[in-house]
Structure 1
Amino acid sequence: MKKLNTTYLAFQVQGKLIGRDRPIKGIFNILKDAKEGDVVIRHWIDVSGVDIAASKGVACIVTQEARGDAIYKAKELDMCLIITEKIEYANAFALRWAIKTFAPETLRVVITGTNGKSTTSHMIHNILQVAGFKSHTNTDSLSEFNTLIDPMVAKQIGESKDLETLVLEVSEVQGWEDRIMTDHAFLMTQAIQPQVLVFTNVSMDHINLVNSIEDAYREISGALRNFKGNAVVLNADDPLLMKMKDMVPSEAEIVTFGNGGRVENKDEGIFLDGDILLKPEELPFHSPHFLQNTMAAIAACKALNIKNKFIKNGVKSYQALKRRFTILNRRPLIIDDFAHNPEGIKATIKSAAELSKHQFYIVCSIRGSRGNDINEINAMAIAQSLKGLNYTLILTSSQEVVDQANWVQEEEKKVFIEVLKKEGIQYTHHPQLSTALFEAVEMSSSDDTILLIGAQGMDPASDVLEKFKEQGIMK
């Protein structure tokens, strides 16, 4: 293990060291799981946090904001505290150090872009496991293993052994509260030093963090700065991504997927280098966004020189992440999807509507504490998608199941509803998720389709429906 001390760490994260220099014998960790000798990284810390860290024997706390008497408390307890101007410097260093220390010989893939990162990462990970590699990915069903707000990925790598591949999803932008973190994709990709870099697409999503599509493009393309890997995977169906061709170093291979790409989807199936690789009946899912993600994963694995038989078996055996067009019930057909931005909403509604044989119900959770702009364009995406359909739209604020960080503000709800009214979209709204789901279930027949869409506010829906089954409300 590469040795660290607090003085060197403070220099690397551009921070001020409070306390004496001391060796660091553990890993980078979160406060809840920290052990003796670890370094805890938190974007803020208070007196209580310092007390907890001291009781665990933590070697050092790195933070961007010491609240209240946290600095005084650290001095009183002889705790080492590093105050950095930008917490992202600390998390990027933690990830870089963890890889160099515990996984220096790994094959590494970074996936970035606006949509499809999680499914693409998860599928690449599955293919590599089928190929016999001991692989690790930071993608989970809720996409909570963030690589910049906290050191979760560095922690996971530090706790793993004998890893051979790393498949790491990197958000295109990041921030919290009113703080915008620029150069996320650049910082994290630099820390990971991947051999293969995958771009899914460029569109608007976190519009509280970027002001325009140009901003989104700049942040996403930042992953290419100082890229020293072997291959870059680009979506041929995205004109903005294809503009990045000129940014790819001459020594790196460009692998494209989509229309005219090396990996292409046609009526007969998915083709690789002009030959059919997977027939439609061999694919576990057929929605347009799933097919895009599948092509991206295949392209990435070809860039890693994975054999076609492993790629094929990896795709065929793939089981989707929770809330990625997940079937929760058959009669009525209930589909659950994390669709939380305009492109995801449009693709998901289109795919579900195509499966609908009778009445089509949509239960949508409004995004809470994410700002008016994202809710305005999400509502517009719903309105555009529902035009011409036989639908029943039910909105919810999910008040009984979300925490303060995801609470729907009154202005957010107002903006969402005003768009629907302006576009002539009929709807009902229920503050509670359980009431909204109950209405959809009660109104539907066995031949109907119910689509559940939304981010954190819809996450508990499957549990609510299970209770309905226990109570005899639905079969």
Structure 2
Amino acid sequence: MEIQDLAESIGGKLYGNDDFFSIDGFTGKFTFLNDAHTGDIVIRHWINGTGVRMAFDKNIACLITRTPKDGAIEMSNKLNFPLIVVDKIELANAYALSHTIDKYSPNSTNIIITGTNGKSTTSHLIYHILKTAGFHVLTNTDSESEFNTLIDPMVSKLISDEVIENGELDYLVIEVSEVQGWLGDLMENHASLMSAAINPKVGVITNIAMDHIGLVNSIEDVFNEISTVPEAIGDGICVLNRDDDWVMKLDVENPFYTSMSKIDEKNAVYYDGSEIVYDGQTILKNDELPFTGSHFIQNILSAIGAVISLDLDISTIANGVKSYEALNRRFAKLNDEPLIYDDFAHNPDGIKATISETKKMLRPGQKLYVVCAIRGSRGIEINQLNVDALAESVDDNVEVILSSSNDVVNDLNFVEMEEREVFFNTLKDKGIEFVHYDNLKECLSETYGKVDKNDIILLIGAQGMDPAESLLKDII
């Protein structure tokens, strides 16, 4: 690779040296500054003069950034060190991903998963089925959601590190955000750009719903972001949620359908209320499923559709699903008496689905306590949609507890006054009583202390509820 070709491919302007800095050129690895070694390329959203000096001292091949500041360009010129400045950092990361797969995993079969809800569970389940079947497989989905971003070179680094350490990959299972942005700016066509870079044989689109308010402001905006993904999948198979009206508007060349009710298409897997069926054959019965909530069964169907499309044996698929254990915070049971469930429900569809499934577990005389972490620093729009979903799900057997989680979140997730007021005012207007706590530890302690052992506590929310499990261990 020539540095001028690299700069041109990602729409960048080259400063400093007009060749790779390290003597041996580029190693082929894209990574982070702290992890970089001689000949690697580092991609950063921003870099300053000190960062350029660090890269110089590490003898890396070059730096790529969107925002040079505090003397970065001047330091680059002074040290004669190559710095590529781009307008769209996502082009650099897509290039890095494509190059990494071509170099380190050229023979792997690649699968992408996108959509508003269920991406992580679907991705992790596909990964588990393939791993259980004995394949060498890598996914970017993890329980802490630290690796499932494609706006930095993390996945490129994961792939190259895995192949160097453990050998050639059979499968790549990559979760792709349906909507992505940086500092409030939408990265247009992010999902299709990254999908094309991965060159998938199979793509899964779980659903299309509202999230990421501010980056997108309507369901039509979300649809537009996802609508170009089938084109990126090309002649590969696209697994579609047939029960989602917006998904069914997509123009798809080779569809494979999933549904929560019986459908007649041959290229389909469905759930009829008692079993999962494909091509007239029962794959799994209710008592063999790792979880039975309807939104989780839809994730199971999506995963099964993907691996069927990879020509895996049905018995192998069934064994993989039966042995699956859910990711953390995906309707995870944290306690038995009282029952405490924890779920990463952080958008309207997720909130409604999770509360609905939990209410089905209530027996006469039991009460459900929904402990909801308000989303901090996300704006009033998404919080308005979330509280509307919460209010819609509440009845006489449900008590609402809110947490701002000031004691456990950083400044990027701090709940602003107007975000709190959206929750307060909406619930008051709808006549729904609630209790609010500034701190999550007090919220959990007070809730746990007042519930009956036969009641159910449901914890929902994003970053503000992430530490709940560890806090509850001390409380209980």
Please indicate the TM-score interval, normalised by the length of the shorter structure.
over 0.9
Query: 1:130 — aligned with what?
Result: 132
Letter in 1 for 2:451: S
Q: Go from structure 1 to structure 2 and tell me whether the alpha carbon gap of 1:87 and 1:132 turns closer, same or farther (over 3 Å shift).
A: same
- The answer for unaligned runs of 5 or more in structure 2 is none
- Structure-1 separation of matches of 2:415 and 2:56: 37
Letter in 1 for 2:307: C
Query: 2:11 — aligned with what?
Result: 14
- Contact persistence 2:28–2:103 (CA under 8 A): no
| Residues 450-472 of structure 1: per-residue CA shift (max 9 Å, x gap) | 1100001100111111122xxxx
**Equivalent residue of 1:168, what SS?**
strand
Q: Go from structure 1 to structure 2 and tell me whether the alpha carbon gap of 1:461 and 1:48 turns closer, same or farther (over 3 Å shift).
A: farther
Letter in 2 for 1:256: Y
Deviation at 1:364, TM superposition (A): 0.8
- Structure-1 separation of matches of 2:308 and 2:148: 27
The 10-residue stretch of structure 1 (401-410 or 4-13) with the greater mean CA deviation from structure 2: 4-13
- Structure-1 separation of matches of 2:121 and 2:90: 25
Query: 1:257 — aligned with what?
Result: 258
Query: 2:34 — aligned with what?
Result: 32
- The answer for unaligned runs of 5 or more in structure 1 is 469-473
Deviation at 1:224, TM superposition (A): 1.6
Runs of 4+ aligned residues of structure 1 deviating over 3 Å after TM superposition are: none
1:352 paired with 2:349, answer no
Query: 2:236 — aligned with what?
Result: 230
- Structure-2 separation of matches of 1:295 and 1:366: 31
**Equivalent residue of 1:345, what SS?**
helix
Normalised by the length of structure 2, the TM-score is 0.94
1:269 paired with 2:266, answer no
1:412 paired with 2:419, answer yes
Letter in 1 for 2:107: E
Deviation at 1:146, TM superposition (A): 4.0
Query: 1:185 — aligned with what?
Result: 191
Q: Go from structure 1 to structure 2 and tell me whether the alpha carbon gap of 1:422 and 1:49 turns closer, same or farther (over 3 Å shift).
A: farther
Letter in 2 for 1:380: D
- Structure-2 separation of matches of 1:410 and 1:208: 18
- Structure-2 separation of matches of 1:141 and 1:48: 34
Deviation at 1:74, TM superposition (A): 2.5
Matches within 5 A, 1:50-449: 50-161=52-163, 162-244=168-250, 247-249=251-253, 253-258=254-259, 259=261, 260=263, 262-357=268-363, 358-386=366-394, 388-449=395-456
Normalised by the length of structure 1, the TM-score is 0.94
1:47 paired with 2:56, answer no
Q: Go from structure 1 to structure 2 and tell me whether the alpha carbon gap of 1:243 and 1:431 turns closer, same or farther (over 3 Å shift).
A: same
Deviation at 1:49, TM superposition (A): 2.6
Deviation at 1:26, TM superposition (A): 4.5
- Contact persistence 1:26–1:36 (CA under 8 A): no
- Structure-2 separation of matches of 1:6 and 1:264: 50
- Structure-2 separation of matches of 1:122 and 1:74: 42
- Structure-1 separation of matches of 2:56 and 2:410: 28
- Structure-2 separation of matches of 1:55 and 1:416: 51
Aligned-residue Cα RMSD (Å) equals: 1.4
**Equivalent residue of 1:239, what SS?**
coil
- Structure-2 separation of matches of 1:31 and 1:329: 41
- Contact persistence 1:392–1:427 (CA under 8 A): yes
- Structure-2 separation of matches of 1:403 and 1:322: 21
- Structure-2 separation of matches of 1:307 and 1:331: 40
- Structure-1 separation of matches of 2:416 and 2:58: 38
- Contact persistence 1:45–1:66 (CA under 8 A): yes
Deviation at 1:225, TM superposition (A): 2.3
Deviation at 1:37, TM superposition (A): 1.5
Deviation at 1:412, TM superposition (A): 1.2
Letter in 1 for 2:331: F
| Residues 334-376 of structure 1: per-residue CA shift (max 9 Å, x gap) | 1000000001000111111222341211111111111111000
**Equivalent residue of 1:278, what SS?**
strand
- Structure-1 separation of matches of 2:170 and 2:357: 36
Q: Go from structure 1 to structure 2 and tell me whether the alpha carbon gap of 1:248 and 1:209 turns closer, same or farther (over 3 Å shift).
A: same
Letter in 2 for 1:9: L
- Contact persistence 1:128–1:135 (CA under 8 A): yes
1:5 paired with 2:7, answer no
Deviation at 1:416, TM superposition (A): 2.1
Deviation at 1:52, TM superposition (A): 3.1
Deviation at 1:46, TM superposition (A): 2.0
- Structure-2 separation of matches of 1:34 and 1:418: 50
Deviation at 1:144, TM superposition (A): 2.5
- Structure-2 separation of matches of 1:273 and 1:118: 27
